[in-house]
Chain A
Amino acid sequence: MILLVVEYSGGKVSKSTYELVTCARQLGREGPVAALVLGSNIAPVASEIAGAVDQVLVADRAELAQFDSELWAAAVAQIASEGEASTVLIGGSRSGRDYSPRVAVKLDASLLEDIITLQADGEKLIAEHYTYLARVTEKVEVQGVAVITVKPGAFAAAVRGSEVAEQFDVDLDLPPRRLQVTGKTGEKTTRVPLSEADVVVAGGRGVGSAESFTKLVEGLADQIGAAVGATRAIVDAGWRPYAEQVGQTGKTVAPKAYIAIGISGAVQHLSGMNKSKYIIAINKDAEAPIFKIADYGMVGDVNLLVPAILDELRK
């Protein structure tokens, strides 16, 4: 079987999970596509995913109420080996990339991280993923059992069909939890989440101040219904929350349009947004590296250009 692990939030299956379903189906490997749901009080999640896969395996346990890499790895490895899974698909979220290496080691399998394409060729699997801060596309080949994390957004989301897969409760041998979570800080935004937005308006040090950011970057984002992004420089400076950071150590986005305001275009920033469909850059320095990957560029002062854009939009 092809085993995929269901990601969900607020009792609903995440888009990334439907992308795993597409990835599994297009592979054309033998056996059913089975979805594993881990958690506590997850009946609605299990019923929802049953509309998209061939089999649903459910472990509804109080100990699984909160994510833990050791627990998740133990559960996934056990189910994969009992079901003789050829391929284990996991979402390329932070948590997915956190426990998937453990699953690979437990199964003595190969690990492919954050893949964007996947094909089967007999016993072989061929995948592509980005390396060198998303500047290089590396093609790799593996044999045998593979544990694979899939880059969010790389595959289209599968739609649920009319058939409903059977659900099975599974027994698990779980290890004790060693990482104790003592507190949690969530991300709050009233806008579209960054990773799901069609348009991202992002600002950097060139915006000048936290106040100007509110006026120019948030102003433009709200005018066009976009999400807000930021560079590390201004997150470090305390102008914006880390949740908005785009780049190597922040979020990766690939919206239809990315509007970069007062951003120089450092490699670490570009690695988080260089797959955007259209890139629009506004910077006073015509030599700024951001213009090398821009579709539309405006050389000039953000304090003049952004208010002019806002005026135009309000017309």
Chain B
Amino acid sequence: MRVLTLIRQVLDAEESVRIKDGAVDLEGRKLVMDTMDEYGLEQALRIREAGVETEVVAVAIGPARCQDVLRNALAMGADRAIHVETDAKLDVIAVSKVMAAIATQEAADLIFSGGQQADWDSHALGAATAERLQWPQVTWTNALEVKDGSLTGKHDVDEGSETFAMPLPAVVTTQQGLNEPRYPTLPNIMKAKKKELRKESLAQFEVVPKTTVVSETVQVKERMKKMLDTKDAAVAASELVKLLRNEARVIG
């Protein structure tokens, strides 16, 4: 079977966000594969390693720099990669159109997508892609098994979790606990350089974004940062309780 894993390149979580001219500035910053996407790629690799004849294809849509995360994906073990190169700021519904078209071209059976990406905080790409393909989906998946053309596993819902069974083809979005993503080894990093990374142009997909980003701002709530003197625990405790009572007014 063929598994697509969607990869987004995001600002490393350790990096602070910088704004320039009303937009987040990623120039010269540390960019990495989104961890939620790593879970998806890792799961695809495990399906292959469990003996199911599988080709794992990593897909990214975005600027030229995205090829770095695709090389990473190849180094982790993906068989090949597809990069739809564009500088356009596409909304998630537009991206889903491209993803669904690629899934159809590639005759994919299973798509992994991150539960929530660390850049646009969206949960939507998996479901939107599934809808375009008329496939079922399961979101926030933290356990998954592929057997005889169907999936079983466990995923998080509003209050708690559910075990499920679902036919293929399908879209799965990831959640923590699904697996521990591997690190690429040096030999695999070398091998990845020879793997296929195909470029596609966005034009053929005829996407028209419907959402315009007006501005991005960092609105930091002013915090008091009042540090209490803790030399004497009892005195500090009494001061904190006073603040909780009289300023924050959260205790009687």
Interface residues of A (CB under 8 A from B): 9, 67, 69-70, 73, 93-95, 97-102, 104-106, 109-114, 126, 129-144, 178-187, 198-199, 224, 232, 236, 242-243, 248-249, 256-257, 266-268, 271, 274-275, 277-280, 291-300, 304-305, 307-309, 311-313
Contacts and interface: CB of A to CB of B under 8 A. Distances in A.
Nearest to A144: B210
B24 interface: yes
Given A136-B217, A280-B248, 18 more contacts: A69-B127, A94-B157, A101-B131, A105-B96, A110-B91, A111-B92, A136-B17, A141-B211, A180-B165, A181-B163, A185-B160, A185-B162, A224-B251, A271-B121, A291-B227, A296-B224, A296-B227, A312-B237
A181 B136 CA distance: 13
B218 A95 contact: no
A236 B164 CA distance: 22
A304 B175 CA distance: 36
Nearest to A133: B118
A98 B228 contact: no
B122 interface: yes
Nearest to B233: A308
A239 B115 CA distance: 24
> Per DSSP, are chain A's interface residues mostly helix, strand or loop, or mixed?
mixed
B230 interface: yes
B115 A249 contact: yes
26 contacts: A9-B159, A69-B137, A101-B127, A101-B131, A102-B127, A105-B132, A106-B131, A111-B211, A129-B121, A136-B24, A137-B216, A138-B215, A139-B214, A178-B167, A182-B164, A184-B162, A248-B118, A256-B248, A292-B225, A296-B224, A297-B225, A297-B228, A298-B240, A299-B230, A309-B241, A312-B241
A313 B230 contact: no
A296 B228 contact: yes
B14 interface: yes
Interface in B150-202: 152, 156-167, 175-177
B233 A94 contact: no
A178 B223 contact: no
B250 interface: yes
Most buried by A among B11, B128, B161, B176: B176
Q: Is the interface of B mostly helix, strand, loop or mixed?
A: mixed
A105 B128 contact: yes
B180 to A, nearest CB: 10
Given A179-B166, A180-B165, A105 B213 contact: no
B130 interface: yes
A139 B215 contact: yes
B128 A113 contact: no
A55 B126 CA distance: 33
B9 interface: no
